[in-house]
């Protein structure tokens, strides 16, 4: 089970009256490679994912994007399926990779014609390269399932 959140008291930097407030205490961990930033469909995932730069805003906070995954469509195909390779993106809730011109999309319309030998194989995008100080792409699996 997850530990209970820990809170800390801080001054609200935008408040002229120096109001105190409680905020969750976050533990920062830098994920350095594509393998570390690929979160499988049923695997554990941090509560907060932040992509940030070394620049700060006027309150001294790092400029960042927060990604919050609250739901996902579920399993599409088992990994053992010969067709699963054509939709390897479905293995992940989120995968952060280096931006590459030769990786413009996670799939291809031609994958449906020959799913056994896909034109684009998303799982090949995740090849343990460093993501530190790089131009990144966040691949977020969002979808629905027709029943």
Q: What is the pLDDT of residues 119-142, one digit of tens each?
A: 999 999 999 999 998 999 999 988
Q: Are 87 and 76 in contact (CB under 8 A)?
A: yes
Residue 137's alpha-carbon distances to 106, 109, 130, in angstroms, are 11, 20, 13
Number of Cβ within a 10 Å radius of residue 136: 15
pTM of the shown model: 0.76
CA distance 113 to 116: 9
Q: With cut-offs at 50, 70 and 90, classify the pLDDT of residue 52.
A: confident
What percent of the chain has a predicted confidence (pLDDT) above 70?
Answer: 94
Q: Return the pLDDT at 122.
A: 94
- Given a cut of 50, whether residue 57 has pLDDT beyond it is yes
Q: Return the pLDDT at 13.
A: 84
CA distance 55 to 12: 20
CA distance 141 to 143: 7
């Amino acid at each position: 089970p997850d530990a209970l959140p820990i809170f800390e008291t801080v001054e609200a930097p935008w408040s002229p009256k120096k109001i105190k407030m409680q905020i969750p205490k976050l533990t920062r961990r830098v994920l350095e490679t594509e393998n570390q930033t690929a979160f499988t469909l049923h695997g554990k995932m941090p509560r907060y994912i932040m992509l940030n730069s070394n620049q700060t805003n006027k309150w001294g906070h790092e400029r960042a994007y927060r990604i919050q995954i609250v739901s996902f469509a579920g399993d599409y195909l088992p990994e053992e399926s010969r067709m699963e390779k054509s939709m390897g993106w479905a293995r992940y809730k989120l995968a952060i990779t280096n931006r590459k011109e030769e990786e413009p999309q996670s799939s291809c319309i031609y994958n449906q014609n020959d799913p056994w030998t896909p034109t684009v194989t998303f799982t090949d995008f995740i090849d343990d390269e460093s993501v530190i100080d790089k131009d990144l792409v966040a691949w977020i699996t969002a979808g629905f399932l027709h029943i």
